[in-house]
Amino acid sequence: MAKTKIPAFQNETYKDYTQPRERKAMEAALRKTGDSLGKIYPHVIGGKRIGTSDAIASRNPARPSEVIGNFAKGTIEHAEQALQTASKTFLTWSKVPYEKRANIVFKAAKIARRRRYEINAWMVREVGKNWAEADADTAEAIDFLEFYAREMMRFGGPQPLHQLKGEHDWLEYIPLGVGVIVPPWNFPFAILVGMSAAAIVTGNTIVLKPSSDSPMMGWLFHEIMEEAGLPSGVLNFLTAPGGEVGDYLVNSTITRFISFTGSKQVGLRVAQNAATPREGQKWIKRVVAEMGGKDAIVVAKDADLDAAADGIVVSAYGFQGQKCSACSRAIIEQSVYPKMVEKIAERTKALEIGDPTKNKRIGPVVNEKAFNSIMSYIDIGRKEGRIVAGGERSGTEGYFIQPTVVADIAPNARLAQEEIFGPVLALIPVKNFDEALEVANNTEYGLTGAVYSKSKKNIERAKKEFFVGNLYINRKCTGAMVGAHPFGGFNMSGTDSKAGGYDYLLHFMQGKSIAEKDATAKKSRKNKAVKKKK
């Protein structure tokens, strides 16, 4: 029977909520999720639902009194159970043909597509994304499923090699083992799904520990994979605080790899712990880490200033600046600096703040800790520069902060160097394009960046000298698309994982080179042919 041809990969189209049909569907999903608040959700280990007396309450940051759900609070004992289950299941899952594994992931993409409004609605409630940002998150998750399933079909068979005379030579990729998946809350579905699906489709088993700020997204993914036919024990869903339980998962001799997205501080701890071999450990653990950024948009004096201002504001305040790719520094040539300050401030002040369930553009930051940290950086900004927009809390309920622009920041000021992870933008004037590139590269990070200029010379220099993993020319510095913009950065931004790219699955596999003398290879093929004939 001929194999079914898989269509070429295409990115998901975003929902248009200006259309009455789309808007009604989203409103219905929000009502439905509103009727399901406060339920209890267990761990799922080896297919078994395991409850606990203690719970992690996921709360709506727009209304902290609203509990999204109560999730089982895991312990070290639960972590060990999950690891042991994943280790046992790996013995069978790793032997499942790659076509079957990819087919399960293709099915998961179809289910996620069917449940798209529901996923969006839960995301709006759980982390405070507006409708468009939530839909883009879910669309990216579907893209990851579709893309990685196709990639497994490419990597699954023997890989092209130069054939030596008298030998049959081939290379195949095999899975690593048990992985610990630690996703963030800011792309709570997309990154969680991408990290998990990549590990699963390549034949590994996982312990998935979602962020305590977005456990519902992990629960939904577990449901989707279960419906898609994923065998029990391949994905083990564990909700637990990061500290003690997280360290235990990373340090275990069962753990073969850790896939992490989060802060620099935690990422470095994961890398350090994983690099320390424990008694009985048989491998060097692999770490795939994405750890944030201090991203800059450079505006040259010859740029389209309106386009630059639009790109900066979208990049700075999408999802309240809570993106590792967000623009937190605008580096602007002095001759156009006053005009750009005015344009950026004007656009920022026009942003509408409010309840994301009502589809307001700017929602809350994720929790009280983030709120307090961001407000403290705004206070620092008052001393280091001048606030030209925002700078205050918005409303009395929820963690709403006005989008804030701080002008006249020095290149080495705290606002120009430290990751804030909130709606705070530092404007930095520079004398010329030379200085602009120098300032752009003067942080410990290297994730995303953008340059607005009409000069071919400037653009070519930026391509060579702007040291980031994802560089954009005359467009915003957020919004990496699966397949088109492999995502990951340099320096303290992580291991340059290039998620959504054609190299990504290699993080979760190891190559096995096999060479067979031609005589035995021919005999083996002849015997197979005789058996087939009989």
CATH assignment of the domain containing 428: 3.40.309.10
pLDDT of the residue at 2 = 46
Domain assignment present for 30 = no
For residues 272 and 315, state if they share a domain.
Answer: no
In a domain, 142, yes or no: yes
CA distance 154 to 332: 44
Do residues 299 and 285 both lie within one domain?
no
9 CB-side CA count, 13 A? 24
Helices first, then strands: H and E counts in the chain: 16, 21
Are residues 257 and 304 located together in one domain of the fold? no
Q: Which of 12, 324, 333, 419 is catalytic?
A: 324
Question: Residues 231, 300: one domain?
Answer: no
pLDDT score, position 53: 96
Neighbours of 247 (CB within 10 A): 15
- Examine residue 277 and state whether it is found in any structural domain, yes or no: yes
Q: How many domains does the chain have?
A: 2
Same domain? 268 vs 311: no
- Domain identity same for 469 and 505: no
Q: What was the pLDDT predicted at 533? A: 56
145 and 249 share one domain: yes
In a domain? residue 18: no
501 and 450 within one domain: no
Rounded CA-CA distance 165/324 in Å is 51
pLDDT of residue 161: 95
pTM of structure: 0.96
324 catalytically annotated: yes
CATH code: domain of residue 264: 3.40.605.10
Do residues 236 and 207 lie in contact, with contact meaning Cβ atoms separated by under 8 Å?
Answer: yes
Tell me what pLDDT residue 1 has.
38
Q: How far is CA 382 from CA 332, 374, 376, in A?
A: 20, 13, 10
Please answer whether residues 54 and 145 qualify as being in contact, where contact means their C-beta atoms are separated by less than 8 angstroms: no
Assess if residue 181 is contained within a domain. Answer: yes
Residue 222 shares a structural domain with residue 337: no
290 is catalytic: yes
**Three-class DSSP category at 472:** strand
482, 144 contact by CB (below 8 A) = yes
Based on the domain organization, do 235 and 357 belong to the same domain? no
Question: Phi and psi (nearest 5°) for 21?
Answer: -65, -45
Q: Based on the fold, state whether residues 152 and 278 are members of the same structural domain.
A: yes
Based on the domain organization, do 89 and 184 belong to the same domain?
A: yes
CA angle 424, 428, 430 (to 5 degrees): 165
The answer to whether residue 207 sits within a structural domain is: yes
Which structural domain range is residue 418 located in? 295-473
Distance of CA 491 to the CA centre of its chain: 18
In a domain, residue 37? The reply is: no
203: left (phi over 0), alpha (psi -120 to 50) or beta: left
User: Does 360 map to a domain?
Assistant: yes
Residue 344, classed as helix, strand or coil, is: helix
- pLDDT tens string for the chain (534 positions)? 346 789 999 999 999 999 999 999 999 999 999 999 999 999 999 999 999 999 999 999 999 999 999 999 999 999 999 999 999 999 999 999 999 999 999 999 999 999 999 999 999 999 999 999 999 999 999 999 999 999 999 999 889 999 999 999 999 999 999 999 999 999 999 999 999 999 999 999 999 999 999 999 999 999 999 999 999 999 999 999 988 999 999 999 999 999 999 999 999 999 999 999 999 999 999 999 999 999 999 999 999 999 999 999 999 999 999 999 999 999 999 999 999 999 999 999 999 999 999 999 999 999 999 999 999 999 999 999 999 999 999 999 999 999 999 999 999 999 999 999 999 999 999 999 999 999 999 999 999 999 999 999 999 999 999 999 999 999 999 999 999 999 999 999 999 999 999 999 999 999 999 999 986 656 555 555 555 555
Active-site hit among 290, 327, 419, 477? 290
215-227 vs 98-114: helix crossing angle, rounded to 10: 120
d(CA 474, CA 440) in angstroms, rounded, equals 16
For 281, the enclosing helix (H) or strand (E) is none
Instruction: Give the C-alpha separation, 425 to 341, whole Å.
Output: 11
Q: CA 198: distance to chain centroid?
A: 12
Instruction: Write the CA distances from 295 to 123, 440, 488, integer angstroms.
Output: 25, 8, 13
Q: What is residue 140's predicted lDDT score, i.e. its pLDDT? A: 98
Tokens of 46: 């080896």
CA triple 64-66-67, angle to 5 deg: 105
